[in-house]
Amino acid sequence: MSGIYINPTELAIFFSVLLRLSVIFFMLPMFVTSGLPDNIKVLTILALSLMLLPFIRESVQPLPLDPAPLSVVIVGEVIFAVIFSLAMAFIIAAFQLAGELVSFEMGFGFSQVADPQSGAEFSVISVWAQLVALMIFFAMNGHMIILKLIVESFKTVPIGSFSLDSALFSKVIILSGLLFVLALKLAAPVMSVLILVQLGLGLMSKFAPQVNILATSWPLTIGIGILFLGITSVVWADVAGKSFAELFHFLQNLSR
């Protein structure tokens, strides 16, 4: 009776594919959600590794099994995955921050809901803006582009060869600064209108003290905020499209 023979080299190549996919996927913003069971995440990564192995095995370096080189490879892959996932998290967080700014001006700061991505509590508008960004990302086939970049990285960035230099670190710092710029651009129209509303209410309370401004301001600011949020959210798709295009360009350069 013939036994089952497992080629150690093929097994080491599979572990290399599994290592990169698992480290990157478990850090992506849309994959770290607490609403997705862990066993589904593990099965998804195993299935992707098995499906991609026949197509990329020729360009994948076997994973070293000795402790010292294995530790170096794991550290390099973790750094690569952190930068890869952080770049996407910056774009998603920009929409979330824009929602927080708008919520604060509208008076929704006290209204907190559970974020489906992290399980933490954020304002209603913030969670809505984050979900809008994710829907735009999937509508652009961003998940397919991300998967394609990961597959190409096996050829351009071999396992264990990634290193963080000063030029790449500067690009990451610049990309992180764009988070606040993008958030302010998204929230600026609604915030400007609400600030003018608050200024008008302040003048009204000065010249007509008999009017109950506290009871009038809440429905007025919420109604005007929702109205202008709906008007300005039309251009959010264009802003998100350009932001994700810059993200894909950055990730493409990173993978090279």
Q: What is the pLDDT of residue 111?
A: 60
- In this prediction, the residues of the chain whose per-residue pLDDT falls under 50 are 1
Per-residue pLDDT at 42: 84
What pLDDT is stored for residue 115 in this prediction? Answer: 53
pLDDT at 126: 81
Q: What is the pTM of this model?
A: 0.77
Which pLDDT tens digit goes with each residue over 31-44? Answer: 777 667 778 888 88
Report the pLDDT value the prediction gives residue 1, as an integer from 0 to 100: 44
Q: What is the pLDDT of residues 80-124, one digit of tens each?
A: 888 888 888 888 888 888 888 888 777 766 665 555 555 556 677
Structure tokens at 24: 């990157």
pLDDT of residue 187: 86
